[in-house]
């Protein structure tokens, strides 16, 4: 099994990057391809090598922590690679782990592809496993992660109000005010009153990972 790849990022798409490793191109699906946008020298990407009957897929991460959390999520019944990847694209590992540790179902159900029953299974299956894996479950405890700090189901609002909710949600997921102010400067001119909180979050993340 492939555990990591080291090489150049030669192509990027909305869902994956292509790495040139000794003249071989590997397509690697990753939570945030734009995180690799400005890497102009060889990098190490930590890999989960996923084999199924009809495909062999590579999922890649910037850190061992992300790789470990991805693999733990796959142990939960009903969560496949695509859903696990979506979870990691929406929040930083420490924020997700803290929500599991605090049994915060409202928080978890705001992550992509996660309903109430799946959130309950995540807590039941992973709470003890994550603690034993060395994740810092107290890092975000003081942040008070709660449902009202996350997007409101993609409802349409005025651009200013929607951005404020998106900003609060991203802060709850571990991003700093300075990072989000930088993202907003790149978004402001193109935002309309029809943009939902969910859309603004996704576009802000793209801005952040483009640097």
* Residue 31 burial (C-beta neighbours within 10 Å; 0-12, 13-18, 19+): buried
Residues 54 and 10 in one domain: yes
Domain tally, the chain: 3
Indicate whether 208 belongs to any domain. no
Indicate whether 145 belongs to any domain. no
Residue 160, pLDDT score: 60
Residue 10, pLDDT score: 93
Indicate whether 73 belongs to any domain. no
**Domain containing 27 — which CATH number?**
2.40.50.140
Residues 93 and 126 in one domain: yes
* Residue 190 burial (C-beta neighbours within 10 Å; 0-12, 13-18, 19+): exposed
Indicate whether 86 belongs to any domain. yes
Residue 83, pLDDT score: 92
Residues 22 and 55 in one domain: yes
Residue 27, pLDDT score: 97
Residue 67, pLDDT score: 94
Indicate whether 10 belongs to any domain. yes
Indicate whether 35 belongs to any domain. yes
Residues 54 and 84 in one domain: no
Residues of the chain with pLDDT below 70 are 38, 132-160, 172-174, 209-211
Residue 3, pLDDT score: 94
Domain that holds residue 37: 4-61
**Domain containing 85 — which CATH number?**
1.10.150.20
Residue 169, C-beta contacts closer than 8 angstroms, at least 6 positions apart: 110, 149, 150, 151, 197, 201
Indicate whether 98 belongs to any domain. yes
Residue 134, pLDDT score: 63
Indicate whether 107 belongs to any domain. yes
Residue 141, pLDDT score: 43
On whether the CB atoms of residues 100 and 127 are closer than 8 A, the answer is: yes
């Amino acid at each position: 099994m492939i555990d990591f790849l080291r090489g150049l990022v030669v192509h990027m798409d909305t869902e994956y990057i292509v790495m040139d490793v000794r003249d071989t191109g590997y397509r690697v699906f990753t939570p945030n391809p734009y995180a690799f946008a400005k890497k102009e020298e060889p990098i190490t990407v930590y890999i989960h090598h996923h084999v199924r009957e009809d495909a062999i897929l590579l999922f890649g991460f910037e850190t061992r922590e992300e790789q470990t959390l991805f693999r733990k999520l796959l142990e939960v019944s009903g969560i496949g690679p695509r859903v696990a990847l979506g979870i990691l694209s929406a929040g930083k590992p420490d924020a997700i782990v803290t929500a599991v540790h605090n049994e915060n179902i409202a928080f978890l159900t705001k992550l992509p592809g996660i309903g109430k029953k799946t959130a309950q299974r995540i807590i039941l299956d992973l709470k003890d496993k994550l603690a034993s894996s060395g994740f810092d479950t107290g890092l975000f405890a003081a942040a008070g992660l709660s449902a009202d700090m996350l997007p409101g189901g993609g409802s349409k609002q005025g651009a200013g109000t929607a951005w404020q909710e998106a900003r609060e949600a991203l802060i709850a997921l571990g991003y700093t005010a300075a990072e989000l102010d930088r993202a907003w400067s790149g978004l402001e001119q193109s935002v309309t009153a029809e943009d939902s909180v969910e859309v603004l979050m996704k576009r802000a993340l793209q801005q952040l990972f483009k640097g």
